[in-house]
Structures are given as C-alpha cells and as structure tokens.
Amino acid sequence: MHVVITGAGRGIGRALAEWYRAEQDEVTGTARDGSETVRMDVTDPDGPAALARHLQGRAVDLLVCNAGVYLDKGQDLDTGYPDAMWADSFAVNVTGVFRTIQVLLPNLRASAQGRIAIISSQMASQNRAPGGSYIYRASKAAVLNLGRNLAVDLKPQGIAVGIYHPGWVQTDMGGSAADITVDDAAQGLKARFAALDMAHTGCFETWDGRDHPF
C-alpha cells in the first residue's frame, strides 16, 4: 500500500508514518522542514503541485491530510484574532487540504481503492461549542464541510473520504496534559483508515471508532 501523509515531520503525522513503515507499506511523507520524503509547505501555491511531480503518476492508496495549525490559543475576544491569523490558519487547515487533494486526484484514481482521510477535530462540531478558539474551530468546521462534500462528488469515482477527530493528543499542539499519547492516536486512526470504505464515506469519527456529532 502506498500512503501519502502531509505534516509527517512531527506529532501524529510522524507516528502514522512510522507505523505504516513498520508494516512495510510505502510512505511518502511531507514536512516543511525537509525531515520527510518531500519538503512541502501546503500554503505554498506550488507545494502540492511539487508533491504531485515527485510522485510521477504513481497510485496513491491512502492520502492522509494531517498538516494543520492552531494559532489562536489564548486570544482575547475583544482585542485578539487578527486578520493575518485567520488567513494563515485557513491557508493551512482548509485551502492546503483542498489543494493537496485536488492535485492528487489522478494518483488516487490510479489506485484500485483510493481513500482520503482528513484530520479535523471535535472542535469542528456545532453541537459541542463551548466558546473560544474561533479561528481554529472555524477552520476545522470548514474542512469537515469540505470532506463531506468531497465524499459526495468522489463517491461515483469509488474514492472514499473520511473525516476524523484524532483525540486530545500529547503533542506540541495538544500539550502535555492531553488525554492520549501520540501512539494511541496513531494506532486508533490507522484502524479507522483501514475500515474506511464506500459504505462509510463522509463519516466523521473519533480516533477510537465512535461516530462524532456534527
């Protein structure tokens, strides 16, 4: 199996890449710092296209859109959330996901069973809205909506799309007080990706297999 993982230089992305490689799967990872197979910044207009050129038409069986940022921690409602923070967050968390999927559609179509896994968050849910983190919540809600609509358009082509909450994970983003380890999240997500098929396309699930409320 050939797996492409964006944001594979650290955190969940790195753990997923390590697990797949340990099982002898072919992994093409991307990282902004060049620590993975392909140096790529999803906000660079040429970034996804450069990834496609690197793949040279090879089939992609699973695309994991994992790259993401959480820039608005601790922002004050009255004075925070500047325009640039909105733009930078959406460039990574939404536009970067769409552009990566768009340019790799030929590679996914070349697979016998191409699948797309989008890492969103429980913070995307309109049913769980405790306030704060407006930019991150809005961007993850947007990518959830993106995934749901892609699932509709790609279903006739046999490409399944799943959207996932990875858990509150002990990473640089989640912090040391988070609920689960990176390996817990990666193993759970890996099981979810393996179960993704056309019957479950458009799903929004947690890392441990529960349906997440929209």
CB count, 10 Å around CB of 78? 6
Active site residue 81: no
- Residue 1: is it exposed, middle or buried by C-beta count within 10 angstroms (0-12/13-18/19+)? middle
Q: Which amino acid is at 141?
A: A
Among the options 70, 81, 134, 136, which is catalytic? 136
**For residues 87 and 123, what is the distance between their CA atoms, to the nearest angstrom?**
19
* Cα(36)–Cα(30) distance, integer angstroms: 5
| Locus of tokens 């961007």 | 139
CB distance 151 to 143 below 8 Å: no
* Distant-in-sequence, close-in-space partners of 130: CB < 8 Å, separation ≥ 6: none
Active-site positions?
A: 136
